[in-house]
Structure 1
Amino acid sequence: MIENPVPPVSLGAVERAATRIAGRVVRTPLVPSPSLSERAGQSVHLKLETRQPIGAFKLRGAMNAILSLDDAARRRGLVTASTGNHGRAVAYAARELGVAATICMSSLVPANKVEAIRSLGADIRIVGVSQDDAQDEVERLVQTLRLTPIPPFDDVDVVAGQGTIGLELVEDLPDIATVLVPLSGGGLAGGIAVAVKALKPQARIIGVSMERGAAMHAAIAAGKPVATREEETLADSLGGGIGLSNRVTFTLCRDLLDGIVLLTEDEIAAGIRHAAREEEEVVEGAGAVGIAAILADKVQLLGPTAVIVSGGNIDPEIHQDLIGRSTR
């Protein structure tokens, strides 16, 4: 039994975030997928976070966290570690709000994501070969330069911002029964689960990740945050650990997720191809995992389903190579 059932992020916090970020982020469409609906035997809809200005959901959490800061904290400048999309979100929000941002990334972050962040005017630091290495640099800069950290996921304001997706899902699909959500550090999955479970307690929230280095899955299996080796994967935005001192997202995912599905690299590639060929959407590996889980028959859908398409920032050459391959 969970000793403290009160979640670290509340529905009220998500609702306040929705008010705070209104007009600064896009209220993204929820569109039906006839092909996936036919395959699953249930109504399947795609929540297209690819429509955000940065091409990914991360803008919600970053914008909410930065707007929640006082003026002094913003003036000191912002710093974060990122596998790409969060860094892009912080850089975009910082530019919109007129503050400086430093983004720390490992050498595993794809070049197209690094260049997209640089184009937004942020200072780039490439450090080490893992998200943990990048986070070490963030902590050093916080100590030496007094920069203000914007965590990529383990932060109540970031989680509340991501949870605004859940509010939109319930508004647009009132009879929602299942949500398939990409799972990495747990900010997206945890935030959506807070909102959806509060409004639709019977709805199921299924986290979807890759077999290579699924940190939250390993932590939940162990009953506590554990170190996980980061590996190269098509779902690069899902890479990195959850932090051994995780304060927010581990608890949310442990208590609110109804299951976790892990995918092979071939299955993720199939999801990317399906998005391009059948949905006419350019989707990165992390954004395609919900689609991939349906295609691989790794999840049973019970009633109307929303699939979170979390981002579309895939290297164009990799994307072209993937969609050009014939399926076996």
Structure 2
Amino acid sequence: MDKKDQIILQQLDVIRSMTENNVRRMGSDFWGTPFESVGKTPAAPAGKDAEKNTPPTADAKPGDSVPDKDEELPPPEKIEDLLAELDSYIGLKVVKDEVHDLINMVQVYKLREQHGLPTTDMSLHMVFTGNPGTGKTMMARMMARIYRSLGILSKGQLVEVDRSGLVAGYVGQTALKTQKVIEKAMGGVLFIDEAYALNGRSENDFGQEAIDTILKAMEDHRDDLVVIVAGYTDLMDKFIHSNPGLESRFNRFLLFEDYTVDEMMGIFKMRCGKGYVLAPDAEPLVRDYIAEESADGSFGNGRGVRNIFEHILVAQNNRLAKMDSVTRDDLMTLTADDVLHARGKLDD
């Protein structure tokens, strides 16, 4: 191996290390990456499951993970700080307005309690509807942190689960499996993605057993457990109205609309973060790339933006690997050629 080959290999190692570190740091719920998931199938080796067992750091937020029993909880966050963070999220105007209304309702409820005035039952369980990648998991984590800040929840963690994490294959096993998930979620939010899949698929299906166990827990632990169910709008509407128990406990619906091209462009720039810089002549090309891809109904909103970002990184890495020397600016810059290569508009 000559000296030039050795230099190229060293550059590749540096590029690979920086790329992996930046992608890990940028993994967030904006693109559907949960911190705590149960029974979820990972989208990629470095995705959900790579993070779910990571212990919380010293500056971890209440919604980031499930604290150990002996671990001291961080103090609740200030509601003002949470509201500022909420308002900084891209898009989601209707959802933000609903959350603001909910916070006001809870605060007034608490004030009435303090003054000895009668209060009505307050349902904090929620239904999130919308297409994949529209920020539902991110908002579920935010709600866990908000409820902790308002004194509704004692821990404020988020536990994400789907049908596979709740339903077993034999009589009696589903209730035990679901109960374990509920115990993990106590003091926080249980987030059930694609909850409509719990509806019985056959006469021998045990999804109803999971639903019954969850409904009982919602009644028994109403003071320290919030359940949020999520999925496609039409399917979730049918799911909730298929069961009187679900109808009576879930009466707050939040619709997560698809992101516009401008909003997805903003998400892409957030993806760049501090580790990457988008060249000025590359920006309109990225916008066109997003607009073209998002015209397909299966694009996936924020998750689709993540995929586009990662495709452009691959193109950048391939370009840098061919260079005799690589500067810090080279490592940070995403060029127009990188975007065109990612789109298949340029040959290698």
TM-score, structure 1 as length reference: 0.30
- Name whichever structure is richer in helix by fraction: 2
Larger Rg: 2
Q: Normalization by structure 2: what TM-score?
A: 0.29
